[in-house]
Structure 1
Amino acid sequence: MNLLNRTLGIHDQALQVKGRRLEVLAQNIANADTPSYKARDIDFKSVLSGTQAQELAITATRGQHFSSGEAASESGLLYRVPFNTSFDGNTVEMSVEQAQYGKAAADYQATLQFLENRISGLRKALRGD
């Protein structure tokens, strides 16, 4: 499993975070007409650095050991500041959300393609091609 983690690197974690971001953006689009709904987004860099910090964190091997501090927040959810205000308190701007969703989908696809290439290389190495 360690070989697989070294080969895939951070891209498997990045794919999970990007997938979660797509879900949040889809929720924003779905709630575009919901009064008082606040548009949200995920800060990709802070969430990914938080998962990296957790991987590098010291883990206790016994219950008597001291804890290493507070765990970083994994959610990374932020509220989006709208360009134009609405009368019903909804901060979803459809054009912004659609643009962000398109960019996030392209980023997700690029990460998938990278992982596919890495896995293909592993398959070739294992087969001896």
Structure 2
Amino acid sequence: MSFFGQSIDKVQNGLDYASLKNRTISNNIANVDTANYKAKDVQFKQLLENETSKGFTSKRTDPRHIHFGQRATGFPVTVRQDTQYNHNGNNVDIDKEMSDLATNQIYYQALVERINGQFNNLQTVIRGGR
């Protein structure tokens, strides 16, 4: 029996994605001066498109509802090969990486707030509404 249905699982998936993206961005920033280093990206959009092209299945209560299936088991990390910013073959754009890092941190914090809300609701129920 799950206290929250699938909401904790969905938030956990989002946290996994945000954590991997944060590590990837951090590696890119750490290697900003490394010769021939190629920046990496976490490909959520590509994974989503691949999964949606397979079709969704779910329990539907109305024929107009969208089908939803099982989640994917990982987020692919790809190397950016199509750009070159520095004379040493490195393609890390520090401004883009810092912007992506800030965006990802906001996303991660929103997910943490969501999961904290779920646990606060459970705590309220355990205390009998007090």
Answer yes or no: same fold by TM over 0.5.
yes
Name the residue aligned to 1:41.
41
Q: Which amino acid aligns with 2:29?
A: I
Alpha-carbon shift at residue 19 of structure 1 (Å): 0.7
Matched residue count: 110
Structure 2 SS opposite 1:89: coil
In proportion to residue count, which structure has more helix? 1
1:119 matches 2:92: no
Alpha-carbon shift at residue 86 of structure 1 (Å): 1.7
Alpha-carbon shift at residue 124 of structure 1 (Å): 0.7
Could you say if the C-alpha distance between residues 46 and 122 of structure 1 is closer, same or farther in structure 2, counting changes exceeding 3 Å? farther
The sequence identity of aligned pairs, in percent, is 25
Could you say if the C-alpha distance between residues 110 and 48 of structure 1 is closer, same or farther in structure 2, counting changes exceeding 3 Å? farther
Name the residue aligned to 1:85.
85
Could you say if the C-alpha distance between residues 10 and 50 of structure 1 is closer, same or farther in structure 2, counting changes exceeding 3 Å? farther
**CA contact 1:13–1:48 (8 Å) conserved in 2:** no
Normalising by structure 2, we get a TM-score of: 0.71
Normalising by structure 1, we get a TM-score of: 0.71
Q: Which amino acid aligns with 1:125?
A: V
Could you say if the C-alpha distance between residues 120 and 46 of structure 1 is closer, same or farther in structure 2, counting changes exceeding 3 Å? farther
Structure 2 CA distance for aligned equivalents of residues 49 and 128 of structure 1: 44
Name the residue aligned to 2:21.
21
Could you say if the C-alpha distance between residues 103 and 36 of structure 1 is closer, same or farther in structure 2, counting changes exceeding 3 Å? same
Structure 1: give runs of 5+ residues left out of the alignment.
57-71
Structure 1 CA distance for aligned equivalents of residues 8 and 48 of structure 2: 15
1:103 matches 2:103: yes
Structure 1 CA distance for aligned equivalents of residues 107 and 22 of structure 2: 10
Structure 2 CA distance for aligned equivalents of residues 104 and 5 of structure 1: 26
Structure 2 SS opposite 1:10: helix
Deviations 1:63-98, CA, capped at 9 Å, x for gaps:
xxxxxxxxx67241122354x632111010100100
Structure 2: give runs of 5+ residues left out of the alignment.
58-71
Aligned Cα root-mean-square deviation (Å): 2.7
Alpha-carbon shift at residue 35 of structure 1 (Å): 0.3
